[in-house]
Each structure stands twice: as structure tokens, then as C-alpha cells.
Amino acid sequence: MKKWIVFICWVFLSVFVHGQNNPVLYDFTGIPQSLLLNPAAEVDNRWYAGIPLLSGIRAGAGSNGFSVYDLFADNEVSFSDKVRDLVFRLSSRDVVMVNQQLELFNIGFKNNWKGKYYYSFGMYQETDALMYWPRDLAVLAYEGNRDYLGKRFDFGHLSGSAEMLTVLHFGVRKKINDRLFVGARAKLYSGMINFSSTGNSGYFVTETGVENFYRHRVVSDVVIHTSGYTSLRDIENDGNQVKNGWKELRSRAFFGGNMGVGLDLGFTYHPHKQWTVTGSLQDLGFIKYKENVESYSLKGAYELEGIELVLPSILDDSGAVRDSWEELREEIEAQLPYKRLHDGYTVIRPWKLNASVQHAFGIRRNKKRYYLTDYEHHINTMGAQFFMVNRPHGPLPAITGFFSRELSPSITAKITYTADKFSKTNIGAGLSAYIKNIHFYVIADNIPGLFNLAKTHYAALQLGFNYVFPHFGDPY
């Protein structure tokens, strides 16, 4: 049973997995929330206000290395054999990622009718987690070291991070001219809970000994940082642990002591009337964790080739038998010390890069916007998008092709096809609809996977409601 502990933890974590890429929402300017991906997105309305707690809800499921079906398929392969197959099939480059967002509030408006400046601000809660499969450590835990003489089990495979935070943000978009828009968004982070262990190194190896059968050697430089964990761990077991835990987390959501700053930058450029190029950089920032911090460090080196029991060295000065195990423990602790630290630490936010090029075609003339003489616009758009998020073992990229169409003045649809580390056949779609001033949108990533969650490696769903004042009617 103990062989499965690490793997089962991995399985249950992967049930709530999705990446940070949002290919359907990016450049879907009929949805005001697209400003969160590019502060220079051409969202065009007088003002909008997201319905609190309902304007942006996103959830997903999936994993990079396997699906739930691989473990629980009703076939002739035993569960033990399935676990063994996956333990050895997964590599240290396989990754689980979680990124969840919930908008608390979101508001945007133009400074005047002509709209040279567009302002937006709000707050959202985010959970971001990543874990690489610790292959060498999983093999060591599953099988032990008996059949692996001379193999170095790499401690660098232990690499991951997880955090829950709130983000207070303010953005501005400026129209430079008819072709160019630029934007920026300032962010204030409030860290609620964090785990971080990256950049580890070292190994454990067992070799044939000289003075004994085996020689074991450990070289370690491993650190695990935590913030907010100890206070949750120490909550009294009185039957209200969940309630008290959420209360503790909420107390850190608004300026709870672990603060940081960040910046988003973006642009939209029209080299031609029917061509558009966009790009953005998100989360260029950091969080300084200094409240409720506890870190665990194992740094040093030690080599063991058994305990020698040779007379008369096993006797101390008084003639009593030495406590060799206690002496061994003290020797190991001196050369390979395990420490608990309470020093603050800084976490760099994983930056994201978005870019797109698109071509518009098909003209619809809009007589309602009579204050713009002979106003007309294109109802079809097709193009390509690129996404990349920075991670400890290197950036994770994704590429997307898309087509969008304005089905009516109040309904727009977008279809995407994305290839990334999770799936090479990710078909997504989104719908943006207005009923008078009420705006509703729904977005789905990897739609085929939504119909068979057990076999899919990735699926995500997002929806939201806004109250929008569009540009219909008289100028104000």
C-alpha cells in the first residue's frame, strides 16, 4: 500500500487540473474579460460592470501524462500493474498544472464618448499550482533501491509550487491613433497560501561496499518553502476545521501581510484595415512571503557503509556498550542537517506571453451607430494565436488556430483548435450574447473531452454575466 501513496496523491491532484492558457477568451473582444488577458484589447462599450462573483468562473480537469481511464478501465489488467506501468511511463517532464480564477468584481468605462482612454479595475481570486512528476523518487518509493545499484536517484525531480492569492488590479488602454492601441494593468497581490520547492539538487545512490555489502551516499540541497500552511495545520480539531480554515484564508485575502506587485502590458495594432496583430505580457511581478512562514531544508552530504561493531571499540570509557544507533543519528544530523526555518522568501510569478495575428472579412453595415458616418465592420475573423507560460523546467507553449463570426448584432461565436503539452486535438468554442444590457458568455476548451472526462487529458469550462452599456443610441 505504501508504494501507491505518492502515485495516488498525483491522481487526485490531477482530477482538478487545467493550464493557464485561455485561447477562446483571448482577443474575444465581445467579452469584457478579454481585457484581463490583454489590457489593450479593443473592448468597445460605454461601460460595463461584472455581476459580483458571477462575472468570471472557470474550472477544468485533465492531466498531461495519463487519464483516469488508464487506471480505472474495466479490463483484464490489474490495478497494481496499471500503477506500475504509469510509475515507469511518466517522466520528470510530465506536469500537472492547476489554474482557477473567480472574479470578485470587475468594472470598466471610457473617459468620454470618443473613448481615447478606457479604464478597468477589479479583483479576482486565483489558484495556481504546478507539480512535475518526481520520477526517481516515485521509483525509489515504489520499488526501493535493491535492484538499482549504482543508480543515482535525482532529488532535482522534486519540483513544484502552489499558491492561492487575490489580485487587485487597475488597467488603462490608450488609443494612440486609428491603428494602434496600447495598454497596461497594475496588480497588487495578496498571498493567502503558498508552497514552493524548485531548483533542488542532489541524489541518493547505493553501491557495492568495500568494508560492508553496500555503501549508501546522500548529497542533498533541497528546500521546501511554505506560507500559511502552519496556521491551517494547527487549527483545533473541533469538528469545524473546514469552516475555520476558510475563515483563516479569508483573513489573508485582503492585504494579509504577504504582498506583491505585478504588471501586464499589451498592444493592438492594425497594419491594414482587415489585419490585426496583438500581443501581451502578463504577471511580470513577485510576492514577498513573510507571514506564517515555515521552510524545511535538507542540505549536506553523508556516506554510510554500515555500523562496525568491533571490540573493544564498542565499549565506552566506563565499559558500557556504546549506543551506536544514537551516535549514527547524531553523525548524520551533523553532516546532513534537517532544519526548520522561518525566514521570509520571494516568489516570482509565472509570466505569460500571448500573441495573435488575424484577418477580418465579410462586411455588415450598422445603421444604429448613426453618429459614425457610414459605419461598417467585418463580421468574420480568422487567425492564429500563440501562448507561453514560464515554468521551472522551461516555458510551456501552445499554438491555436481560430475562426469567429458575428451571428447577429448581439451574438458572436468563436471556434479554436489548440495544440499544447496536454492535447494535440483541443477543439474549443465560445459564445457571447447580449439581451438588452445583460451580457452572458460561455467558453469550453476541448469540447470532445467534456463528453468523456474519464479518458480526456484536458477539459475546461468558463462562464460569466456582465451588465453592459453598449454604443447604441445617442452619444453621451
128 occurs within a structural domain: yes
Question: Locate cell 546532513: which residue?
Answer: 336
Region 289-300: mean pLDDT is: 93
- Alpha carbons 355 and 271: distance in angstroms, whole number: 15
Whole-number pLDDT of residue 77: 78
Does pLDDT of 236 surpass 60? yes
Locate 377 and state its grid cell.
465592420
> pLDDT band for position 66 (50/70/90)?
low
Map 388-420 to HEC letters. EECCCCCCEEEEEEEEEEEEECCEEEEEEEEEE
Which residues fall within 8 angstroms of residue 338, CB to CB, at 6 or more apart? 296, 297, 298
- Alpha carbons 416 and 399: distance in angstroms, whole number: 10
Containing H/E element for 213? Answer: none
Whole-number pLDDT of residue 471: 62
452 occurs within a structural domain: yes
Comparing 338 with 413, the larger pLDDT belongs to: 413
58 occurs within a structural domain: yes
Q: Three-class SS of residue 32?
A: helix
Do 95 and 394 meet the contact criterion of CB atoms below 8 Å apart? no
> pLDDT band for position 96 (50/70/90)?
confident
Pick from 84-88, 115-119, 289-293: least confident: 84-88
Instruction: For residue range 170-224, list pLDDT tens digits in order.
Output: 999 999 998 999 999 999 999 999 999 999 999 999 988 777 778 889 999 999 9
Comparing 339 with 241, the larger pLDDT belongs to: 339
- Alpha carbons 476 and 471: distance in angstroms, whole number: 9
Whole-number pLDDT of residue 376: 60
The alpha carbon of residue 465 and the mean position of all alpha carbons in its chain are separated, in whole angstroms, by 24
Whole-number pLDDT of residue 11: 45
> pLDDT band for position 113 (50/70/90)?
low
Comparing 257 with 5, the larger pLDDT belongs to: 257
What torsion do the CA atoms of 232, 238, 240, 245 make, to the nearest 10 degrees?
A: -10
Whole-number pLDDT of residue 55: 93
Region 222-249: mean pLDDT is: 80
* Structural domain of 328: 2-469
475 occurs within a structural domain: no
Peptide bond into 448 cis (omega under 30): no
Whole-number pLDDT of residue 65: 66
Instruction: For residue range 389-434, list pLDDT tens digits in order.
Output: 998 888 889 999 999 999 998 999 999 999 887 777 789 999 999 9
What torsion do the CA atoms of 141, 133, 12, 55 make, to the nearest 10 degrees?
A: 160
476 occurs within a structural domain: no
Instruction: For residue range 122-154, list pLDDT tens digits in order.
Output: 999 998 888 888 999 999 988 888 888 899 999
Region 306-317: mean pLDDT is: 49
Region 422-450: mean pLDDT is: 89
Q: Single out the residue of 143, 186, 180, 162 nearest to residue 95, CA to CA.
A: 162
Region 282-305: mean pLDDT is: 92
Whole-number pLDDT of residue 309: 43
> pLDDT band for position 344 (50/70/90)?
very high
Q: Which residues of 397-419 are buried (b: 16+ CB within 10 A; e: fewer)?
A: ebebebebebeeeeebbbbbbbe
Instruction: For residue range 362-374, list pLDDT tens digits in order.
Output: 887 655 544 433 4
- Mean residue pLDDT of the chain comes to 83
Pick from 60-74, 80-94, 218-232: least confident: 60-74
474 occurs within a structural domain: no
- Alpha carbons 456 and 18: distance in angstroms, whole number: 12
Determine how many CB atoms are found less than 10 A away from the CB of residue 113: 11
Does pLDDT of 355 surpass 90? yes
423 occurs within a structural domain: yes
Whole-number pLDDT of residue 279: 98
CATH number at residue 108: 2.40.160
Count: domains in the chain: 1
